Structure 1
Amino acid sequence: MPDREPRRVIVGRVVGLFGVNGWVKVYSYTQPKAGLFEYPDWHLATADGWQAARLEAGQEQGKRLIARIAGVEDRDQARQWVGSDIAVARELLPEPEPGEYYWVDLESLTVRTVDGVELGVVSHLFETGANDVMVVRGERERLIPFTLDHVVQRVDQQEGVIEVDWDPEF
């Protein structure tokens, strides 16, 4: 049986170059933003898939974050990583509090209504500012707000189901 691809959580992005000694500017999706540096074993997105990388150093530089990737010694070597997502293995992250979820843990779960109508599978989620939204793909694509106790009635990761109070006609 082939090994499954490990689940990764995107925690940031390389957004630019900093100086001439191989440092890069990074944008962090973690809270607090410097929490990105708590995970030294990075995976960086490439055209050919994910490549393992090691965070050698990271620091706040004014309002931005900068990082040094092991083995990257100059600006030209660092340039290849600009635009790359930064991910870490899911198992390195702390378990969420009850009622909180990592998006990666919700992806691929089946979504069905409280009346048992299957709507599809969570493809991905995105933020709107007001709330997170699930993109559910089934016989058609639906955008369903991920609002606990309002639309989302139950999340059962063991069963692989998210139960929603949602009109299947929407």
Structure 2
Amino acid sequence: MNKKESGLDNLFIKEPIIIGKIGSVYGVLGWIKIYSFTERLENIFFYKPWFINHIGKWRKLEVINWKYNNKQIITKFKNINNRNIAYELTNQEIIVNSTQLPSLKDGEYYLKDLLNCKVINQNGFIIGIIIDFIDTKSNHVMVVKPEFTGNSEFNKSKFTKKKLLIPFIEQRIIQMVDIYKKFIKINWDINF
């Protein structure tokens, strides 16, 4: 597939944010299933333009149509007119530049802003660093890489986990988020 056939242009994205993923091809006319990572599935279409990192190069995709099909979203992109061209885009992450996200009020934050924050328990001991989030539909879960610095209440020799999964439930587990100092204070038993 060349640039002219695909409608893709080489670009550079400074602060990429993944908002979805391109799924399998739907039909013979170039429609593709889309997996949206936004809170409401259709909110993915509020963010334009979309980018993918196709074969090591940033490319822009233009959505010309979309619709629901059996509770899934299918999308038609500009200049993607047949199944073969559409197939080459499958399994690509849908990316936007973080500057496209709406501004937030004081005390609000995006989960992306919490990546690499230290997680500290109620006694002030560092548990680890947030490396990812998992969306379980009922709440988000922090994926934390353990770094039990100065933690006397924890027996490192008994602990073999490489990642900790800690529910991100504000007020119940999350006691404080300091986005500027890059730490989150939690009420959580580290031996759980």
TM range (shorter): 0.7 to 0.9
The equivalent of 1:152 in structure 2 is: 174
- Structure 1 segments, 4+ long, off by >6 Å, are none
Confirm whether residue 53 of structure 1 aligns to residue 60 of structure 2.
Answer: yes
AA at the equivalent of 1:59: W
Superposed displacement of residue 126, structure 1: 0.8
Superposed displacement of residue 96, structure 1: 4.8
| RMSD after superposition | 2.5
The equivalent of 1:38 in structure 2 is: 46
Identify if the C-alpha distance between structure 1 residues 65 and 123 changes in structure 2 by more than 3 Å, giving closer, same or farther.
same
Identify if the C-alpha distance between structure 1 residues 119 and 6 changes in structure 2 by more than 3 Å, giving closer, same or farther.
farther
CA displacement 1:27-59 (0-9 Å, x = unmatched): 2222432222222311224463x6322223132
Superposed displacement of residue 106, structure 1: 1.5
Kept in 1, the 8 Å contact 2:66–2:75? The answer is yes
Question: What is the DSSP-based 3-state SS (H/G/I as helix, E as strand, rest coil) of the residue aligned with 2:172?
Answer: coil
AA at the equivalent of 1:111: V
Q: What is the rounded CA distance, in whole Å, between the counterparts of 1:68 and 1:130 in structure 2?
A: 31
Identify if the C-alpha distance between structure 1 residues 87 and 142 changes in structure 2 by more than 3 Å, giving closer, same or farther.
same
Q: What is the aligned-residue identity percentage? A: 29
Q: Which moved more, 1:81-90 or 1:124-133?
A: 124-133
Give 2:25's match in structure 1, choosing from 14, 17, 20. Answer: 17
Kept in 2, the 8 Å contact 1:111–1:161? The answer is yes
Kept in 1, the 8 Å contact 2:52–2:61? The answer is no
The equivalent of 1:142 in structure 2 is: 164
Question: What is the DSSP-based 3-state SS (H/G/I as helix, E as strand, rest coil) of the residue aligned with 2:23?
Answer: strand
Say how many residue pairs are matched.
165
Kept in 2, the 8 Å contact 1:10–1:85? The answer is yes
CA displacement 1:72-131 (0-9 Å, x = unmatched): 332211101112221212221223566654322211111112322111110111133443
AA at the equivalent of 1:68: K
The equivalent of 2:140 in structure 1 is: 132
Structure 1 unpaired stretches of 5+: none
Kept in 1, the 8 Å contact 2:53–2:59? The answer is no
TM-score (norm 1): 0.81
Flag the structure with higher strand content: 1
Kept in 2, the 8 Å contact 1:16–1:25? The answer is yes
Q: What is the rounded CA distance, in whole Å, between the counterparts of 1:25 and 1:85 in structure 2?
A: 12
The equivalent of 2:124 in structure 1 is: 116
Identify if the C-alpha distance between structure 1 residues 147 and 100 changes in structure 2 by more than 3 Å, giving closer, same or farther.
farther
